[in-house]
């Protein structure tokens, strides 16, 4: 009996090893939203892998056509055009779902994350492009259209009403993570679990690659494209980084980030990189944005509440000062690669 059991275990181990050996790594990258969109997974069939990847990219495109504020005909922009009309507008399940997620984030962050900041974000976007600091009166005027209290959600009819005039919803702080999560879930539905989705730095990781502890991911420090924190190793987790290293406007010796504080209407002036590890990519995305705005203690407290980990690296007088939740270091790795 013992000999039979030994042979059975050996056979199972051999079969498992053989199955793993048959799996190959497939990597697909296309440009989406003016940035690389990468899908990596392990599968045994190259033809099926190509077909599944194409399906995933089509899924991503369907979300982009709904959520983008750069596409004039997007459902998001069409909804914004209805602002101030006094009527509820029927919307797709995908749009109402992400708006409900955004409402949850707004409540949890006490307004630090607010998708109604679109008018102000567009003003600052134009200011950076033209290198012309916006007038205080212009910012104040745009802020009149801001506030999630002006968004009314009817879950019975799947419709939204924007109560103020000239509102513009902006999903830039949540949509990439949301899409990454949905694409990962699509792979799961195809029985592919060893996978990683990278939507311009918003990463959703599934199970670890064969014979690895996890997926190895590097995180940049403020104002550095090369210097990295120790690499992270993740499986069944998501990570997102938010910072103001590359998009800012300088005025009177200060750098104002593209990340706008919903309370003031001005870009944050602290030079931060915020990295969030969460159980899903949607949460990681919006939480990274919110933690860039919130005081460090409150940011860490919120991360803990959400069972997430956060690392805040801030540049002060040319020196990088780091603060993190206790378990963030558990995800550091020195040697493992993919």
Residue 116 lies in a domain: yes
Contacts (Cβ under 8 Å, ≥6 apart) of 68: 33, 74, 76, 77, 175
The pLDDT of 322-336, averaged and rounded, is: 82
Number of other CB atoms surrounding residue 234 within 10 Å: 22
Among 5-19, 20-34, 262-276, which stretch is predicted with the lowest mean pLDDT? 5-19
Residue 157 lies in a domain: yes
Q: Residue 6 pLDDT more than 60? A: no
The pLDDT, as a whole number, for residue 256 is: 80
Instruction: Give the confidence band of 10 by pLDDT, cuts at 50, 70, 90.
Output: very low
Residue 107 lies in a domain: yes
CA 44, distance to chain mean position in Å, is: 29
* In contact, 262 and 143? CB cutoff 8 Å: no
The pLDDT of 76-95, averaged and rounded, is: 97
- pTM for the model stands at 0.89
Among 47-51, 109-113, 118-122, 331-335, which stretch is predicted with the lowest mean pLDDT? 331-335
The pLDDT of 14-20, averaged and rounded, is: 45
Instruction: Give the confidence band of 8 by pLDDT, cuts at 50, 70, 90.
Output: very low
Among 90-94, 139-143, 213-217, 268-272, which stretch is predicted with the lowest mean pLDDT? 268-272
Residue 253 lies in a domain: no
Which residue, 267, 210, 263, is CA-closest to 243? 267
Residue 105 lies in a domain: yes
* In contact, 240 and 288? CB cutoff 8 Å: yes
Q: How far apart are CA 301 and CA 320, in angstroms?
A: 22
Residue 148 lies in a domain: yes
Number of other CB atoms surrounding residue 210 within 10 Å: 15
3-state secondary structure (DSSP) of residue 147: coil
| pLDDT tens column, 124-181 | 989 888 889 999 999 999 999 999 999 999 999 999 999 999 999 999 999 999 999 9
Among 8-17, 205-214, 271-280, which stretch is predicted with the lowest mean pLDDT? 8-17
Which residue, 143, 150, 153, is CA-closest to 164? 150
Q: For residue 323, what is the enclosing H or E element?
A: strand 319-324
Instruction: Give the confidence band of 34 by pLDDT, cuts at 50, 70, 90.
Output: confident
The pLDDT, as a whole number, for residue 221 is: 61
How large is the C-alpha radius of gyration of the chain? Answer: 22
CATH of the domain at 123: 1.10.3980.10
Among 222-226, 239-243, 321-325, which stretch is predicted with the lowest mean pLDDT? 222-226
The pLDDT, as a whole number, for residue 286 is: 98
- Residue predicted with more confidence, 325 or 227: 325
Contacts (Cβ under 8 Å, ≥6 apart) of 231: 216, 217, 218, 219, 332, 333, 334, 336
Number of domains making up the chain: 1
In the chain the first and final C-alpha atoms are separated, in Å, by 40
Which residue, 187, 183, 233, 182, is CA-closest to 43? 187
Can you spell out the DSSP letters for 258-273?
Answer: SSB-TTTSSB--SEEE
| pLDDT tens column, 174-233 | 999 999 999 999 999 999 999 999 999 899 999 999 999 999 998 766 555 555 556 899
Residue 132 lies in a domain: yes
- Residue predicted with more confidence, 63 or 255: 63
Residue 131 lies in a domain: yes
Residue 125 belongs to what domain range? 84-162
Instruction: Give the confidence band of 51 by pLDDT, cuts at 50, 70, 90.
Output: very high
Q: How far apart are CA 174 and CA 82, in angstroms?
A: 22
As beta bridge partners, residue 13 has: none
Instruction: Give the confidence band of 7 by pLDDT, cuts at 50, 70, 90.
Output: very low
Average pLDDT of the chain is 88
């Amino acid at each position: 009996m013992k000999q039979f059991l030994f042979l059975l275990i050996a056979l199972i181990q051999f079969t498992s090893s053989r199955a793993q050996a048959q799996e190959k790594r497939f990597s697909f990258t296309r440009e989406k939203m003016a940035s690389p969109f990468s899908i990596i997974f392990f599968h045994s069939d190259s033809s099926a892998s190509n077909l599944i990847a194409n399906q995933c990219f089509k899924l991503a495109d369907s979300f982009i056509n709904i959520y983008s504020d750069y596409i004039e005909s997007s459902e998001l922009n069409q909804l914004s055009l209805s602002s101030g009309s006094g009527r509820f507008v029927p919307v797709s399940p995908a749009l109402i779902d992400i708006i409900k997620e955004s409402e949850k984030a707004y409540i949890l962050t006490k307004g630090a994350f607010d998708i109604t900041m679109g008018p102000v974000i567009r003003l600052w976007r134009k200011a950076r492009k033209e290198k012309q600091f916006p007038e205080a009166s212009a910012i104040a005027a745009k802020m009149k259209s801001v506030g999630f209290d002006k968004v009314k959600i009817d879950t019975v009819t799947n419709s939204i009403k924007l109560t103020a005039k000239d509102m513009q919803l902006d999903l830039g702080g949540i949509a990439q993570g949301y899409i990454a999560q949905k694409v990962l879930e699509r792979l799961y539905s195809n029985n592919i679990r060893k996978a990683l989705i990278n939507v311009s730095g918003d990463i959703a990781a599934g199970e670890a690659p064969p014979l690895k502890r996890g997926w190895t991911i590097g995180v940049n420090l403020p104002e550095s494209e090369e210097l990295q924190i120790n690499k992270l190793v993740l499986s069944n987790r998501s990570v997102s980084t938010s910072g103001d290293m590359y998009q800012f406007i300088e005025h009177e010796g200060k750098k104002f980030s593209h990340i706008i504080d919903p309370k003031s209407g001005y870009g944050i002036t602290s030079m931060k990189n915020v990295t969030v590890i969460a159980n899903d990519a949607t949460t990681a995305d919006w939480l990274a944005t919110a933690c860039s705005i919130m005081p460090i203690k409150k940011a860490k407290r919120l991360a803990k509440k959400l069972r997430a980990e956060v690392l805040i690296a801030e540049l002060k007088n040319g020196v990088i000062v780091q603060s993190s939740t206790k378990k963030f270091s558990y995800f550091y790795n020195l040697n493992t690669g993919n």
